[in-house]
Amino acid sequence: MEGPMSPMDVKPLELQQLNNNNLQGAYSAMSPMGSMPPTPAPNYPPNHPLSGSKHLCSICGDKASGKHYGVYSCEGCKGFFKRTVRKDLTYACREDRNCIVDKRQRNRCQYCRYQKCLMCGMKREAVQEERSRGSKANVKVEESYPTSTMKDLTVERILDAEQKSETMNGDNALPYLRVGSSSMVPAEYKGPVSHLCQMVNRQIFQLVDFARRLPHFNTLQKADQIMLLKSGWNELLIATVAWRSVEYIEPDESVNIMGSQERRWKQPSLMCIGPNFTLHRNSANQANVTPIFDRILTELSIKMKKLALDKTELACLKAIILLNSDLRGLQAKTGIDELREKVYSSLEEYCRRNHPADDGRFAQLLLRLPALRSISLKCLDHLFFFHLIGDKPIEQFFEEMLDQPFMAN
């Protein structure tokens, strides 16, 4: 008599049936009184990506990610101003120094963009003070990341890290998510939910492998590596799932708006958790987590589909998420910030080179990050509620994963 199949042995169609039938009942039984407890709205600090989400960038009018150097601004204008000040760059205007600086044309004239940053109130001294504060505690880090050595942090190297991490089978994955004795899962549903947890654990293993393959990540103190992974793993996982789910999004041919060039899409019903492993919307509905399911697919996957987001851009966004220099307690805050800025500039150049007619592409990519952060917080709420996160502290979990042998092939 054959034993039970593992998720890696099940065919896609069989997996879909598993998701629709077994997981529906599992999640339905797990949901107390058919609903999730309300989650209080978090209070974000001023520099959090979500804190300025209701404001517009003072410089270009794009959606602001927060208040930077004294002014509400988007990530693009924030990074542009910081690079200009730190590198003491000078620009020249080819016109009459009165160029339009808006969401579509902000990259056309760097001189006028910088002047508008100053006119709107951005403070050069705020950038200099930020660097000065970090340099006092990170002199060694500053010395370890001169501009010349960061040249290897290219989009090609970042893509290579993404592609090689995907080939890792995850057999050595540690069980961060698991169905234990305290999990709110009825006995008859522990099998399918356990399979789902195993699949997610494999994806987390690949995310750690991706981080270790990024240039300079392994030169950071282990405490910083753990802190970055702890902060970003959920966002990295959701970004990967959203991108994999793009192939299941179909155009809605029934919608035909007269004179409109915009393509419409059907309501997505499948989410790709891993290779040949999909989760159906019916399962999310039975579990009362449809809002999260829909947000991932509509705010991320459909946007990625419209942008035709390629794997290089995905990998760069994941590197930006991982290299979060805003975290408190980082030993190499300044060095990590410079690595992140390098990824920003590399991605911006990649967008400009591969999509010359789309001036706003770089900003559109960055605008997915606040939504990604918001969704990831909601997902964590559900994992904790269902007691699917192990008892081991997450710091210890990532430390053990980083201690495993690493083959940089």
* Residue 65 pLDDT exceeds 60: yes
CATH class of the domain at 48-137 = alpha beta
Q: What is the DSSP secondary structure assignment for residue 288, as one 8-state letter?
A: T
CATH topology of domain 12-30+141-403: Retinoid X Receptor (1.10.565)
What is the C-alpha separation between 268 and 250, in angstroms, rounded?
8
What is the C-alpha separation between 121 and 177, in angstroms, rounded?
47
The distance in angstroms from the start CA to the end CA of the chain is 40
What is the C-alpha separation between 3 and 288, in angstroms, rounded?
32
Q: Which long-range CB contacts under 8 A does 11-14 form with residues at least 24 apart? A: 11/276, 12/276, 12/278
Domain ranges of the chain: 12-30+141-403, 48-137
- 132-169 pLDDT, tens digit per residue, is 655 444 444 443 454 545 677 899 999 999 999 888 76
- 210-254 pLDDT, tens digit per residue, is 999 999 999 999 999 999 999 999 999 999 999 999 999 888 766
Residue pair 188/393 in contact (Cβ under 8 Å)? The answer is no
- 89-140 pLDDT, tens digit per residue, is 888 888 888 898 988 888 888 899 999 999 999 988 888 777 665 544 444 4
When comparing pLDDT for 244 and 264, which is higher? Answer: 244
Are 12-30+141-403 and 48-137 the same fold in CATH? Answer: no
- Is pTM beyond 0.85? Reply is no
